[in-house]
Structure 1
Amino acid sequence: MDQHFIVMMIPHHDGAIAMADLALTRAKRPEIRALAGSIKASQTEENAQMRAWYRAWFGGNVPTWGGAMGHGGGMAGMGMGGTGTDIAWLKNAPDFDRAFIEQMIPHHRMGVMMASMAQTGSQHPELLALQQAMVKVQSAEIAQMAGWYRRWYGTP
C-alpha cells in the first residue's frame, strides 16, 4: 500500500505544483498567490520526502505512473488525479483566479481521498503521519478556497 501510494501521490502533487506555478504568475488576488506559494512549497517538500522514503524502503527511484490517474509520469496536461484539470486551459482562462479555485478544490478533494484511503493499509508510521497531515492541510485549504469562492463569486 505504501509503495502504491507514493507512486500515485507524487504525480498528483506534481499536478498541484504545476497549477500553483501558474497561479504565482497569473493570479490577480494576493490570497491566491499566497496559497499557491504554500501549496508549491509543501508539496515539493512532501514529494522529496516520499522519494527518499521510496529509495530507502523499496530500492531505486519512484517509477513514473501513466495509468488510471492520467499522468504520463508527470505533467501531461490532462487528468490531474481524475479531476479533469487541463493546464493549457487553466493557463488561458479568462478569469484565472476563479478557474484556479474551480480546479484546485476537486484536485485537493482527490488528494484527501487518496491519503485517507491509504492510511488504513500504511505500514510506515512516518508515511501515515504525512498522510494524516495531507488530509488536514488540504481539507483546510479546500474550506478556505470555498469561502473565497462564495465571497468573491456569490455561489457555492
Structure 2
Amino acid sequence: MNKETLVSGLVGVVIGIVLALLLAPWWGGMMGYRNMMGFNNTTSQNQIMGSIDSHFIEQMIPHHDDAILMADLALQKAKHSEIKQLAQDIKRTQSEEIEQMRVWYKSWYGKDVPDVFSGTGHSMGSGMMRMGMMGDATDIEKLKNASDFDKAFIEEMIPHHQMAVMMAQMLQGITNRSEMEQLAKNIIDAQTREINLMRDWYRQWYVQ
C-alpha cells in the first residue's frame, strides 16, 4: 500500500463517519429535525429554515477560523511556494466569508454570532460539526512541530476542506435564502478546487 492510498483511505474513513453523523439529523426528515431542535408542531417553516441558516453560520465561522489558523502557520513554516500561495488564498477568501456571515447574522437575528464552542454550552450539532476541524491547541502544536510541515498541512487541510464542502452541500438542499445558497456554492467551488490542488501536490511530492 503506497502513501497516497493510505492517506486517502484514512481520510475516507474519517469523512464517512462524519457524514453518517451529519446525515442523520440533517437529512432524516423535517420531523426529526424539529424534534432534535426542540420545535413543536406549531413551529413555522420559516422558523425552522431560519434556525438552519443560523446554525450553519455558527458552525462554519469557527471552521473557517481553524483553516485561517492553519494558513497562518503555513505562511510561516511552509517550504513550497504553492502551499504559501494556497495559505494566502485561504486567508483572504475565508476571512471575507466570515465577515459576510457575521453581517448577515446581525441583520437577520439582531445579535452577534455566539461563540458556540466556548465553555460547556454547545449548540445543537456543534459536537458533530467540530469533527473535521483542528479541534484544540494540541492539534495545532502537532502541526506546528511536524517533521515535514507541508506534508502534514495537506493531510490536515484536505479532510478539513471536505467537511466544509459537505456542510455546504447539505445547506444547499434546505436553505431558503439566496445569500446562503450562493455562499454554499462559493465554498464548494473554492474548496473543491483547493482539495484537487493539494491532492496533485501530494502525489508529486510524496508518492514515490
TM-score (norm 1): 0.89
Q: 1:87 matched to which residue of 2?
A: 140
1:96 is aligned to 2:145: no
Question: What are the residue-to-residue correspondences of 1:9-88 with 2, within 5 Å?
Answer: 9-66=60-117, 67=122, 69=126, 81-83=130-132, 85=134, 86-88=139-141
Structure 1 spans left out of the alignment, 5+ residues: 71-78
Deviating beyond 2 angstroms after TM superposition, the runs of 4 or more aligned structure 1 residues are 67-70
Q: Could you tell me how far apart the structure 2 residues matched to 1:29 and 1:41 are?
A: 19
Q: CA deviation at 1:81?
A: 3.5
TM-aligned CA deviation for residue 80 of structure 1: 8.5
Contact 1:24–1:37 (8 Å) recurs in 2: yes
Does structure 2 retain, via aligned residues, the 8 Å contact 1:81–1:107? no
- Whichever structure has more helix as a proportion of its residues is 2
Shift of 1:83: 2.4
What is the CA–CA distance in structure 2 between the aligned matches of 1:89 and 1:150, rounded to whole Å? 23
C-alpha distance in 1 between matches for 2:194 and 2:71: 13
Aligned partners of 2:172 and 2:57: how far apart in 1? 12
**Residue 120 of structure 1: CA displacement?**
1.3
Deviates more, 1:97-106 or 1:82-91: 82-91
* 1:65–1:109 distance in 2 versus 1, CA, 3 Å: same
The amino acid of 1:18's aligned partner reads L
Alpha-carbon deviation of 1:84?
6.0
Q: Work out the CA distance in 1 between the residues paired with 2:95 and 2:79.
A: 23
Distance in 2 separating the partners of 1:80 and 1:24: 26
Q: Separation in 2 of the partners of 1:80 and 1:15?
A: 13
Equivalenced residue count is 147
1:69 Cα deviation after fit: 4.4
CA displacement, residues 78-109 of structure 1 (integer Å, 9 cap, x when unaligned)? x9941263111101111000000000000000
TM-score by length of 2: 0.67
Aligned partners of 1:135 and 1:117: how far apart in 2?
A: 11
Does the 8 Å CA contact 2:59/2:129 hold for their aligned counterparts?
Answer: no
Larger radius of gyration: 2
Structure 2: unaligned runs, 5 residues or longer: 1-51
SS of equivalent to 2:113 = coil
Equivalent AA in structure 1 for residue 102 of structure 2 = R
